[in-house]
């Protein structure tokens, strides 16, 4: 029944072709066995054997096969169906029937159709295509069963994260997209004009979320971020979405517990609620079943030893590259936290470990199966004097960050937060080999269309 409520409208009675029928969706079809129903659909594929036609129909909620027998419909209806091209839009009426021969378990005996539009020759054939061609036709590609499944899982991941955070007492706060300067000072920003001033598209809402945490306690943001990096890999997008929680009175240790509980919740939620979609994607779910809190933790020091033991050259003080992350992840069957990175490899706002000032109280969460870093978090500096020192070391403008410094002047408290990259999380849970399929219209190096 949850599925019934979730997927589309149902029960609208229409008077059509002289017969009362129920306008419903394919997602709800199991509730209408033996009944006459009407569906608004697109033709995915058609097969014919002279006196019988099989219409593969989709409506966004699922796929069903309509069976039309020549002797049981009017010659006009038969001809109309025979002339349908791929992706033509139509209303279709028929009786729902259970059938063992159908992959979904249901079929429709078609009694009538009403063509809305006969589609022009559809560019995407039911066969393999190259990446460039598919990306040029992304607006049509998302109609395919595989892309539909990914986008549904993406939406469900977002919902699971927001539900979990809301249930834990977090408040949604929206940081600005247009900002006066860099949030972290490292990556290349998207420059734009703000009337007579310079402005940049946000690369992280974190600093604003720290302000929000001082106002509302536990907060999170969810929105797009922008990096003008010339990165061309399967893990990078120019525009991507992040969830960024920030919590007052939370230290490094509790920060990790919140991260692992949230990630585990999301994975288990998808396993429960997106079985059909994961099946379409042929995702091996056994690896996902294991994703339950707590997650293993290793320090940066231990990770360096692990890499050296595995025969990789790596010295203390460097940052991990993709091959290093993969090697570390291979040693665990769950996501693994790497904590306590050298201060020099991380952002200016991270709090040093009180017992070892050369490392900071931070964590990267590395997903299994080579999907790399999906979460990065840290406890933030709360001492105004240390923060001022960091500004000088990183040559950041005191003036631009005056408001951020104020947070340490007026009731500074220990606080922590993290950012989860949505697209990498979707790629991992769906088992995809590239993040370009995880977002409806990816913005990449050399791609701003469609």
Partner RNA sequence: UCCUCCGUAGCUCAAUGGUAGAGCGGCCGGCUGUUAACCGGUAGGUUGUAGGUUCGAGUCCUACCGGAGGAGCCA
The residue (of 121 and 399) whose beta carbon lies closer to RNA is 121
Q: 332 near 368, Cβ under 8 Å?
A: yes
CB-based burial of residue 292 (10 Å sphere; 0-12 exposed, 13-18 middle, 19+ buried)? middle
- Which span (152-160, 291-299, 305-313, 441-449) binds RNA, by CB under 7 A? 441-449
Q: Taking the complex as a whole, how short is the minimal distance between the CB of residue 283 and RNA, in angstroms? A: 18
Whichever of 5 and 125 has its CB closer to RNA, that residue is 125
The number of beta carbons lying within 10 Å of the beta carbon of residue 371 is 23
| Structural contact between residues 116 and 89, judged by C-beta atoms closer than 8 angstroms | yes
**Shortest distance (Å) from residue 197 CB to RNA:** 25
Residues in 189-218 at the binding interface with RNA, rule: CB under 7 A: 204
Among 86, 202, 259, 378, binds RNA (CB under 7 A): 86
360, β-bridge pairs = 352
Candidates 6-14, 227-235, 334-342, 406-414: pick the segment binding RNA (CB under 7 A): 227-235
Nearer to RNA, 126 or 215 (CB): 126
Please work out the total of residues on this chain that contact RNA, with binding judged by CB under 7 A: 71
Residue with tokens 């539909």: 148
Minimum CB separation of residue 304 from RNA in Å reads: 15
Indicate which single residue of 23, 30, 31, 99 sits in contact with RNA (rule: CB under 7 A).
99
- Judged by CB under 7 A, the chain residues 376 through 395 that form the site for RNA are 376
**C-alpha radius of gyration, the chain, whole number:** 27
Choice between 18 and 103, CB closer to RNA? 103
Span of 147-155, 224-232, 309-317, 407-415 interacting with RNA by CB under 7 A? 224-232
CA 450/CA 443 separation, integer angstroms: 9
Q: Which of residues 257-316 bind RNA (CB under 7 A)?
A: none
- Distance between CA 156 and CA 444 in Å, rounded? 24
Find the farthest-apart pair of alpha carbons in the chain and give their distance in angstroms, rounded. Answer: 87
Of the listed pieces 138-146, 162-170, 189-197, 234-242, which binds RNA according to CB under 7 A? 234-242
Determine, following the binding rule CB under 7 A, whether residue 66 of this chain makes contact with RNA.
no
Under rule CB under 7 A, residue 45 binds RNA:
yes
Q: Binders of RNA among 162-181, rule CB under 7 A?
A: none
- The one among 59, 87, 107, 210 contacting RNA by CB under 7 A: 107
The residue written with tokens 């999907």 in the block is: 371
Answer yes or no: are the C-beta atoms of 309 and 289 closer than 8 Å: no
The dihedral through the CA atoms of 332, 426, 270, 417 has a sign that is: positive
Q: Is 321 in the site for RNA (CB under 7 A)?
A: yes
CB of 374 to RNA, least distance (A): 5
In angstroms, the CA 285 to CA 431 distance is: 9
Q: Which of residues 356-375 bind RNA (CB under 7 A)?
A: 372-375
Phi/psi at 187 (5° precision): -80, 165
62-70, 152-160, 301-309, 331-339 -> range binding RNA (CB under 7 A) = 62-70
Q: How many CB atoms lie within 10 A of CB 95?
A: 16
SS3 for 377? strand
- Compute the least distance from the CB of residue 13 to RNA, in Å: 27
For residue 369, say if its preceding peptide bond is cis, omega within 30 degrees of 0: no
Residue 10 or 447: the one with the smaller Cβ distance to RNA is 447
């Amino acid at each position: 029944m949850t599925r019934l409520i979730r997927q589309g409208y149902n029960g609208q009675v229409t008077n059509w072709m002289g017969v009362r029928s129920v306008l419903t969706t394919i997602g709800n079809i199991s509730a209408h066995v033996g009944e006459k129903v009407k569906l608004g659909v697109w033709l995915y594929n058609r097969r014919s054997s002279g006196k019988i036609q099989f219409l593969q129909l989709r409506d966004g909620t699922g796929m069903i096969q309509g069976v039309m027998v020549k002797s049981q419909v009017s010659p006009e209806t038969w001809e109309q169906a025979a002339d349908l091209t791929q992706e033509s839009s139509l209303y279709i009426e028929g009786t729902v029937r259970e059938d063992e021969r159908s992959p979904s378990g249901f079929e429709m005996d078609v009694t009538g159709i009403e063509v809305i539009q006969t589609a022009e020759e559809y560019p995407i054939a039911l066969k393999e295509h190259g990446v460039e061609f598919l990306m040029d036709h992304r607006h049509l590609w998302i109609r395919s069963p595989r892309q539909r499944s990914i986008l549904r899982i993406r939406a469900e991941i977002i919902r699971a994260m927001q539900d979990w955070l809301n249930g834990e007492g977090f408040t949604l706060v929206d940081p600005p997209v247009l900002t006066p300067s860099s949030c972290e000072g490292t990556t290349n920003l998207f420059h734009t004009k703000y009337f007579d001033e310079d402005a940049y598209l946000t690369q992280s809402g974190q600093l604003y979320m720290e302000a929000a945490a001082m106002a509302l306690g536990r907060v999170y943001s969810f929105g797009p971020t922008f990096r003008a990096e010339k990165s061309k890999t399967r893990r990078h997008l120019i525009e991507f979405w992040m969830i960024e929680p920030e919590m007052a009175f939370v230290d490094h240790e509790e920060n990790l517990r919140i991260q692992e509980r949230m990630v585990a919740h999301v994975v288990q939620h998808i396993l429960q609620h997106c079985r059909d979609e994961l099946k379409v994607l042929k995702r091996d779910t056994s690896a996902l079943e294991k994703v339950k809190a707590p997650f293993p933790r290793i320090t940066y020091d231990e990770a360096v030893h692990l890499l050296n033991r595995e025969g990789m050259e790596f010295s203390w003080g460097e940052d991990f590259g993709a091959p290093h992350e993969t090697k570390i992840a291979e040693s665990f069957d769950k996501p693994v936290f790497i904590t306590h990175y050298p201060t020099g490899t991380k952002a200016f706002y991270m709090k040093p470990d009180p017992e070892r000032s050369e490392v900071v109280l931070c964590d990267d969460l590395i997903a299994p199966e080579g999907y790399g870093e999906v979460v990065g978090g840290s406890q933030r500096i709360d001492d105004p004097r240390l923060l001022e020192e960091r500004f000088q070391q990183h040559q950041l403008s005191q003036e631009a960050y005056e408001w951020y410094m104020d947070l340490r002047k007026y009731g500074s408290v220990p606080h922590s937060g993290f950012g989860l990259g949505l697209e990498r999380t979707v790629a991992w849970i769906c088992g995809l080999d590239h993040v370009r399929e995880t977002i409806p219209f990816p913005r990449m190096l050399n791609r701003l269309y469609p």
